[in-house]
Structure 1
Amino acid sequence: MANSNILLLSFLVIFLSRLNFLEAQLVPAVFIFGDSITDVGNNNYLKNTFAKANFTPNGIDFPGMIPTGRFCNGKNVADFVAERVGLPSSPPYLSLVSRPGKINNATSFLTGANFASAAAGILNSTGFIFGEVIPLWTQIDYFATVSEELKQQLGPSAAQKLFAKSIFMMAIGNNDVMFSTLALLADPSIKNKTPQQRMDLILATLEEQLRRLYDYGARKFLVIGASAVGCCPFLRAWEKGGECNEVVNSLSIMYNEGVTPMLRKLKSEIKDMSYTYYDSYGVLQNLIQNAKHYGFDEFKAACCGQGNYRGIPTCFQISPRCSNRSDHLFWDPFHPTEAAQRILIDIFFDGPSKYTFPFSVHQLIAL
């Protein structure tokens, strides 16, 4: 009898915990498409790529102090988005399949999935110097498989309701901007285009991919603009006085100036889609200009790396690194620290309207 009471009490505790979790859950699922800022381990499953972070000291501040494939000392943007909407972090897609396109268990995707791949871009050729990556086109191919499987498991109507209330986060484009400037694209016909022509091609490709996602069921989009990537330690390392590379930053601005009218056009043509655009360029510039206010003593140099401003890739176990990660804006030559990424998402959800428009994230969720 005593054992029965213990079992009943345990069941009630678990049930109440689950009930509280569901009450805090703002959306049924989050599906994430992107590059290294949101990769939670997909590239671990790629054999022929240099774009991996599954080694120390990456993950030194992650629960368990283990490297997971996140390009960060701890949690990244994808984790903090999940926290804010009351969900567990979406698992890497490739961890849930026996091979790409072959899903082991469709129910694993009921709360979302992460398709992001470090070094990936909107264009298929972006990131080629790192070897194998998962470009945006392929990431959406993977979601198409998930969408079809969930429709079979739940029924088309129930699956569409799930997708319509879910968040589809697009955190990609920085690599297209950076590699475009460095003329490292594999396709000569792209490499020889003017900067504006390159940005126009990237934007047209992004629009095409957003339309594909809509056709597969997406309705609510979080689109993150290109950041001030010219201010990352990798590019500061080559500039006099460690200044930002303004040529690269000008391309980010050019890209962002094209994203917003493209999204407005898309909305005018597809009435039941909604979106929030996040001005990550403005946010990073704000963090740099007001670093002390946000608790960062160092905003130029990376915590972990080699050479000037620790900007020479990448962060290895033998690399010099800082002892206090929380007072650095950047973890490695390209990526913000966990502390900085948490702030980025706090502003994403709760910041002033000049950074998120036409809706705040909370307003988008409520639609």
Structure 2
Amino acid sequence: MYVFGDSLVDVGNNNYLKISLVKADFPHNGVDFPGKKSTGRFSNGKNAADFIAEKVGLVTSPPPYLSLLSKSDKGNAFPITGVSFASAGAGIFNGRDELLRQSIPLTEQVEHYTKVYEDLVQELGSAAAQDHLSKSLFTVVIGSNDVLGFFKPGSDQAKKTTPQQFIDIMILALKIALKRMHDFGARKYVITGIGAVGCCPTQRNHNKDECNEEANTWSVKYNEALKTMLQGLKSELKGMDYSYADVYTVFTRFIETPSTFGFTEVKSACCGLGNLKAQVPCVPFSTYCSNRSNHVFWDFYHPTERATRIFVDTAFLGTQQFAVPVNINQLIAA
């Protein structure tokens, strides 16, 4: 399993970025993680990468690429079970890491993967490496930071382009990245859309406690364009298969019918301070809720471990309402 994306699936890459401000290597993150330790996951416990790894039978989630670099320099190969390139704060575009070099954007993550590919070929031989990669899952969770950045007050990007133009170039840039991954052996992709980002606590905090419907509307439009792009790409790229996981629909259901899933708090974060616990992020001096399982959101952006687990369960075995053209389990069997 090879993981690309942002803080929804980062398992610690940003811990190795010396001047990044976007880290989760401190309490109260990880309060429900094995050992109750913060690991760089923006969650009270496990994140989506962990749960998908569990589902496919891996003992642990693929390790952060940056944690392996020094080991590979000493002649140790990258693990055959996969690597995570995901980085909190990352977006599809290069520009997401300009502020304090806070993240590894998707293009750079894919470049890191090409080095792992070369290592695999050296270790296994070309034919065996290709065979190994053709059976591997390439999980891509990206785009939320691009959309949130576009709708941020005073956004430079919003001054230059319309929302539709911005989404079009997001889709094109993602397509180029997926094709490059295909050039280096990727065949089975798990790709999520963007969730209802306008309903995260920080957006509500700026919108009289209500969802930012403009951000949600464009998230839906992005998701529709992404599904269309993936259909075309499958016919274009030899041997490509994919499962598109509809995170938007799943999380909208959490928010609209919370009692169905056992949630009682859909607006406020569990960890933070101020209105909706969204004015100060989840940092050591913040307070956090005693019952994490009834909250949809852990902090002002990220879901709780329980919300994430339900999403992954749904994407793994769900119907076409939640995963198209196949769910993750069917993709693995293909």
1:111 aligns with 2:75: no
Answering whether residue 104 of structure 2 is matched by residue 137 of structure 1, we say no
Structure 1 residue 34 displacement after superposition? 0.5
Give the distance between the partners of 1:274 and 1:208, measured in 2 at CA: 16
Q: In the TM superposition, what is the alpha-carbon distance from 1:124 to its structure 2 partner?
A: 0.7
Deviation at 1:313, TM superposition (A): 3.9
> Does the Cα contact within 8 Å between 1:43 and 1:69 map onto a contact in 2?
yes
Cα distance change on mapping 1:147 and 1:349 into 2, 3 Å: same
Deviates more, 1:270-279 or 1:164-173: 270-279
Write the letter of the residue equivalent to 2:79. F
Equivalent residue, structure 2, for 1:82 = 53
Q: Is the 8 A contact 2:150 2:157 kept in 1?
A: no
Paired letter, 1:358: P
Matched, 1:149 2:127: no
1:226 aligns to 2:194 (yes or no): yes
Between the aligned partners of 1:254 and 1:63, the Cα distance in structure 2 is: 38
- Number of equivalent positions: 333
Does residue 1:125 correspond to 2:95, yes or no?
A: yes
Task: Report the TM-score, using the length of structure 2 for normalisation.
Answer: 0.96
1:70 aligns with 2:41: yes
2:152 to 176, 182, 185: 182
Would the aligned equivalents of 1:59 and 1:73 in 2 still touch at CA under 8 Å?
yes
TM-score by length of 1: 0.88
CA-CA distance at 1:46 after TM superposition = 0.2
Shift of 1:105: 4.9
**Residue 236 of structure 1 is aligned with which of 197, 204, 224?**
204
Instruction: Give the Cα–Cα distance (whole angstroms) in 2 for the partners of residues 314 and 326 of structure 1.
Output: 19
1:314 paired to 2:281: yes
Structure 1's consecutive aligned runs of 4 or more residues displaced over 4 angstroms after TM superposition are: 102-106, 188-191
Structure 1's 298 and 104: CA in aligned 2 closer, same or farther, altered over 3 A?
farther
**Residue of structure 2 in register with 1:197 after alignment:** 165
Give CA-to-partner distance per residue, 1:61-100, whole Å, 9 cap, x none: 111111100000111111000000000210011111129x
**How many angstroms does 1:183 deviate by?**
5.8
**Cα distance change on mapping 1:104 and 1:31 into 2, 3 Å:** farther
Cα deviation, 1:223-244, whole Å, max 9, x if unaligned, reads 100110000001011122x111
1:50 aligns to what?
Answer: 21
Q: 1:46 to 1:347 in 2, by over 3 A?
A: same
Output the amino acid matched with 2:62: S
Specify the code of the residue in structure 1 equivalent to 2:199: C
What is the letter of the counterpart of residue 56 of structure 2?
V
Structure 1 position 259 matched with structure 2 position 226: yes
Query: Which residue does the alignment assign to 1:285?
Result: 252
Deviations 1:14-59 (A, max 9, x none): xxxxxxxxxxxxxxxx000000000000000001111000000111
Give me the CA root mean square deviation: 1.5
Counterpart-to-counterpart distance in 2, 1:106 and 1:311: 43
CA change 1:154–1:287 in 2 (3 A) is: same
Query: CA offset at residue 190 of structure 1?
Result: 7.0
CA distances 1:294-342 after superposition (whole Å, capped 9, x unpaired): 1111111000012211112410111121111111111000001111111
Q: Cα deviations across residues 197-228 of structure 1 (Å, max 9, x unaligned)?
A: 11111110000000000001000001100110
Instruction: Check 1:265–1:85 CA distance in 2 against 1; reply closer, same or farther (3 A cut).
Output: same
Q: SS state of the match for residue 272, structure 2? A: coil
C-alpha displacement of 1:287: 1.1
- Work out which of the two has the higher radius of gyration on C-alpha atoms and give 1 or 2: 1
Secondary structure of 1:126 counterpart: helix
**Which secondary structure does the structure 1 equivalent of 2:282 belong to?**
coil
- What secondary structure does 1:125 align onto? helix
Residue 215, structure 1, aligned to residue 183, structure 2: yes
